[in-house]
Structure 1
Amino acid sequence: MQYLEMRKGRVEIIPMIDIMLFLLIFFIMVTIHMIPTQGLPAQMPGSSTARDLPKPKVVLTLRQSGAVETDGHTISLPDLEARLRQGDPAETQVTIAADKGADIQALVKVMDACRHAGVSAIGLAAKPE
């Protein structure tokens, strides 16, 4: 009568670590590409004192024509005020990216609309010189 040897199964830890590391890197790369970086190019003015701003919740693009865009769609100033009031205006950060040739009066109107909605954190986008 022969006896069969019963071996205990071993869990190989090195290949499991390799797979887990691969999955971690994969999910990091996927998450990085999910961050929205879409936008329309604007000829922003340069500034020698430009610095990084906190990540804005709302990015507005002011065109030379005076049109205001957000998320790739043109928006009127009353609609902009209503949209900003939907969230918590005190916590909302707005960054305005104005074209180099945009009218100053149009910029002031956009800033006034943000202030009327209760937003106090307004930044102007500029490229470093």
Structure 2
Amino acid sequence: PMIDVMMFLLVFFVLISLNVIPALGLKTQLPSAGSAQQLKPQKKAIITLGAGDQLQLDGQPLPLNALVNTLKQQQQENQTTTIIVNSDKEVAVERLIAVMDTLRQGGFFSISIATRKQ
């Protein structure tokens, strides 16, 4: 019986890692860029912009006016947080700019936009 449980867990994690079972969060289709590159590991926060004015911070829904305060609470002293904006390609550029302006006014300057490599 224990081997059955272990086999189930193995299959479950393989399916999750292959994205056969979808993860939680907004579904987005990233725009592509020829200069896309992999980010180095560091303290990061992922902001997801979806259609219909949806906004999530690390998978949790959040209004735009609470974004900076939440990020400042999560940020550790003397540590730069890199913010990755994961915006659906259907999201209006004005909305993306509004989010980035809000972040910069809040003191966050290390902002990257997630893309797919062409």
Q: TM-score, normalised by structure 2?
A: 0.69
Unpaired runs of at least 5, structure 1: 1-32
Secondary structure of the 1:69 match is strand
Counterparts of 1:52-67 in structure 2, within 5 Å, are: 52-55=38-41, 57-67=44-54
Q: 2:63 maps to which residue?
A: 76
- Deviating beyond 6 angstroms after TM superposition, the runs of 4 or more aligned structure 1 residues are none
Aligned pair count reads 93
Q: Kindly tell me: are residues 101 and 71 of structure 1, through their superposed partners in 2, closer, same or farther at Cα, counting changes over 3 Å?
A: same
More divergent stretch after superposition (83-92 vs 111-120): 83-92
Tell me which of the two structures has the higher relative contact order, counting C-alpha pairs closer than 8 angstroms and 6 or more residues apart. 2
Shift of 1:39: 5.1
Unpaired runs of at least 5, structure 2: 1-16, 18-22
Counterpart Cα distance in 2 of 1:89 and 1:124: 23
| RMSD of aligned alpha carbons | 2.1
State percent identity of aligned pairs: 26
Shift of 1:123: 0.2
Contact 1:89-1:119 within 8 A present in 2 as well = no
Shift of 1:65: 1.7
Q: TM-score, normalised by structure 1?
A: 0.63
Match of 1:114 among 91, 99, 103: 103
Match of 1:124 among 103, 113, 118: 113
Match of 2:91 among 94, 98, 102: 102
